[in-house]
Amino acid sequence: MRTVAVIGAGQMGSGIAQVVAQAGLRVLLSDVQLDLAEKAKAKIAKGLARLVEKEKIAAADAESALSLIVPVGDYAAMVEADLIIEAATEREDIKHRIFEAAGKVLRADAIMASNTSSIPITRMAVSSPDPARFIGVHFFNPVPVMKLVEVIPGLATSAATVDAVKGFVARLGKEAVQSGDEPGFIVNRILVPMLNEACFVLGSGTASVADIDKGCRLGLNHPMGPLELADFIGLDTCLEIMRVIHGSTGDSKYRPAPLLAKYVEAGWLGRKSGRGFYDYSGEVPVPTR
Ligand code: CAA
């Protein structure tokens, strides 16, 4: 494998682009507009510069990783990719459109993957040119820090595709776990209902934002409390994941917390919008309830 295309230059796509380039592979990074991919590259440059400052990596390695990242403005360039990873918004209609468009340039020996956090792979594979070469590769945020990648074959995914993707994950220095194609896979199936439950606890007035988070940090040794983590992931993403799990299983225990849905309706999406369960406008995040 020499070249990887990453579609979507948001927080996940940028993180994936960074670790792929640090592993010595060329990255074609795209978003809906070229300037968004260029801005993402500039942000990755800052992240790499911080790693150099902290003496985690050599300046020459940062420079060489950065030189491997090529922002691209359309799908045509992706004909060079051995692997195309979609890391766009967690909306199924958008993802289907991307697979159809990128599928037109996907080489006959190349693999198409989705970094979806919950949408069934088998369902998305129908929009790709060859479901045998379609697979889920799910990274965790922040990508440069988190060791895990979930590998999710769909019904038609070939064994060769699974092996190639596991080899790719190992090359990034990350650990793979394989999950069946069930909504939320392994980790989000367990995590996101817990975050949703924290929203129910908050909505019912049982405890404050600060105490819910402090309770889980100190009582469970979690690095972040559930509301802080939901803000970090993005409340819209958390809500979408709950909707997918709820819709796919039909089980009412997965219904999204009304407070979570309300925050998303208000545009309070967490860190990325400056407000969620915390207000991020000042030096330190301040709980809002
Ligand atoms: N990019 C790169 N490195 C980062 C980073 C980022 N965005 N954020 C933090 N780091 C690095 C820091 O540089 C630091 O590195 P060193 O120890 O080498 O100096 C290290 O991570 C620790 O960071 P901090 O000291 O600043 O802060 P912290 O100790 O509070 O850790 C954290 C921050 C790593 C994010 C930690 O709070 C954590 O692990 N939180 C939980 C994250 C989590 O659960 N992620 C999964 C979310 S679910 C998901 O992603 C799946 C999905 O589909 C929704």
Instruction: Judge if the beta carbon of residue 145 lies within 6 A of ligand 1.
Output: yes
pLDDT of amino acid 118: 86
Answer yes or no: same fold for 3-178 and 188-280.
Answer: no
Ligand 1: which atom is nearest the Cα of residue 50? 13
As beta bridge partners, residue 152 has: 136
Nearest by Cα to 9 from 45, 48, 38: 38
Token pair, residue 91, equals 């909306």
Alpha helix (H) residue ranges in 54-145:
59-67, 92-103, 121-125
Domain layout of the chain by residue ranges: 3-178, 188-280
Q: How far is the CA of 248 from the centre of ligand 1 (A)?
A: 30
Q: Tell me the pairing of strands 278-279 and 286-287.
A: antiparallel
| Residue whose C-alpha is closest to residue 118's, from 179, 202, 164 | 179
Out of 118, 127, 188, 196, the active site residue is 188
* Ligand 1 atom nearest to CA at 12: 50
Query: How many helices (DSSP H) and strands (DSSP E) are in the chain?
Result: 11, 10
Whether the CB of 223 sits within 6 Å of ligand 1: yes
Q: Cβ distance 225 to 199 under 8 Å?
A: no
Q: Is the CB of 229 under 6 A from ligand 1?
A: yes
Please report the pLDDT score of residue 206 as a whole number.
98
Catalytic residue among 14, 117, 128, 196: 117
pTM for this predicted structure: 0.94
Q: Is 228 a catalytic residue?
A: no
121 Cα to the center of ligand 1, angstroms = 27
Decide: 196 in ligand 1 pocket, CB within 6 A.
no
Ligand 1 centre distance from Cα of residue 232 (Å): 10
* 233 CA → ligand 1 middle, Å: 11
Low-confidence ranges of the chain (pLDDT < 50): none
150 is a catalytic site residue:
yes
Give 193 Cα–ligand 1 centroid separation in angstroms. 21
Range 3-178 classified under CATH 3.40.50.720: yes
Cα 163 from Cα 185, distance rounded (Å): 19
CATH 1.10.1040.10 fits 188-280, yes or no: yes
Inter-residue contact 199 to 259 (CB < 8 Å):
yes
Which residue owns the Cα nearest ligand 1 atom 1?
A: 142
Give the type of residue at 149: V
Euclidean distance between the first and final Cα of the chain, in Å?
49
Q: Which residue's CA lies nearest to atom 28 of ligand 1?
A: 223
Active site residue 246: no
Ligand 1 within 6 A of CB of 224: yes
Q: Closest residue (by CA) to atom 5 of ligand 1? A: 142
Pocket perturbation via mutation, ligand 1, pick of 55, 117, 145 by most ligand atoms within 8 A of CB = 145
pLDDT of residue 90: 85
